[in-house]
Amino acid sequence: MKNNLYLFCTSLSIFLFGGSSLISAQDQEPAPKESGVFVYQLRVGVNIGGVTPIPLPAEIRELNSFNPMLNMSIEGNVVYWLNQSPRSWGWSTGIRLENKGMKADSRVKNYSMEIIGGEGEKVAGNWTGGVSTHVANSYITIPTLVAYKMNNRWSFSGGAFWSLLIDKNFSGYVFDGYLREGDPTGVKVVFEGDKTASYDFSNDLRHFSYGIQLGANWKFSKHLNVFSDLSVGLNNVFKSDFKTISFKMRPVYLNVGAGYSF
C-alpha cells in the first residue's frame, strides 16, 4: 500500500508540474501576427476636366463655353493591405484604359497659333479673336499609389500615374478675329462672319505623360464601393520641340465612378 501511494503521488507531481510548465510555455509564445491581404477590384468611371495651362496666361482673356464630354475609364487594380485590421497602410497599382477630352471656346489676344490655309498651307502668327478647341485622347495608365484605410468604410490613396497615349486628337478652328503673320506686327489676315481657319496639333502630342493622383474610396457593402480620383499632369501634353503654343498644357481631370471588389 505504501509503495502504491508513493507511485501515485510521484505520478501526480510529474503530471501537475509538466502540465503547468506546458501551459506557461504556451502563454509565453508570441501571438501570431495578422498577415496582409490582397484585394482585387474592377472600376468604371467618368473623367471630368480638361487640358489647360496652369495658371491661365494673359493671352486667354475669356472662356465662352466648355463641354467636358463623356470620357469613360475602366480599371483593374490590386490593393495590398499590410494587415486586416480596420486601420491599415498599403499600396495599390493596376492598369486603366481611359479617355481624356473636352471642347472649349475662348477669346484670346496675341495667342500663338498655326492655322491651315485654304490651299492646305500652314500660316503661323499671333491670333486675336475666337478659338474653338477639341481634345479627344485615349491612354493606357498605370497608377502607383500608397493607400491608407481609415476604417471599414473609408480609404484614401496618393501617388503617381504613368500614361501612354494610344489615340490622339488636339484640333479646332479660329473665328471672328485676325491673325498677324509671323509676329504681333506682321501682316493682318482678318476672319469675319462665318469665315474660319482650322488647326491640328495632334501629331505634336507627347506619347508619354506622368503626374500625381489623389483619391478617396467609400465602401458601402462587402463588394461595392464608389470612388473619386483627382489627377494632374506634371509634364506638357506637347512634345518639347513644339513651340507654336508658348505655354505648357497639362491634363487636369476628376475621375468618379463605382467599383467591385472580389
Q: What is the pLDDT of residues 117-146, one digit of tens each?
A: 767 788 899 999 999 999 999 999 999 999
Grid cell in block for residue 145: 499609389
What single-letter amino acid sits at 22? L
Helix H or strand E encompassing 60:
strand 60-67
From CA 206, how far away is CA 236, in angstroms rounded? 8
Write out pLDDT tens, residues 215-248: 999 999 999 999 999 999 999 999 999 989 989 9
User: What is the band of 194 on the pLDDT scale with cuts at 50, 70, 90?
Assistant: confident
Q: Nearest to residue 86, comparing CAs of 39, 157, 153, 31?
A: 153
Domain ranges of the chain: 34-261
What single-letter amino acid sits at 128? T
Q: Are 186 and 180 in contact (CB under 8 A)?
A: yes
Query: Mean pLDDT lowest for which of 115-119, 137-141, 170-174, 203-207?
Result: 115-119
Residue with grid cell 481657319, as numbered in its chain: 197
CATH annotation of 34-261? 2.40.160.20
pTM, two decimals, is: 0.84
From CA 95, how far away is CA 92, in angstroms rounded? 11
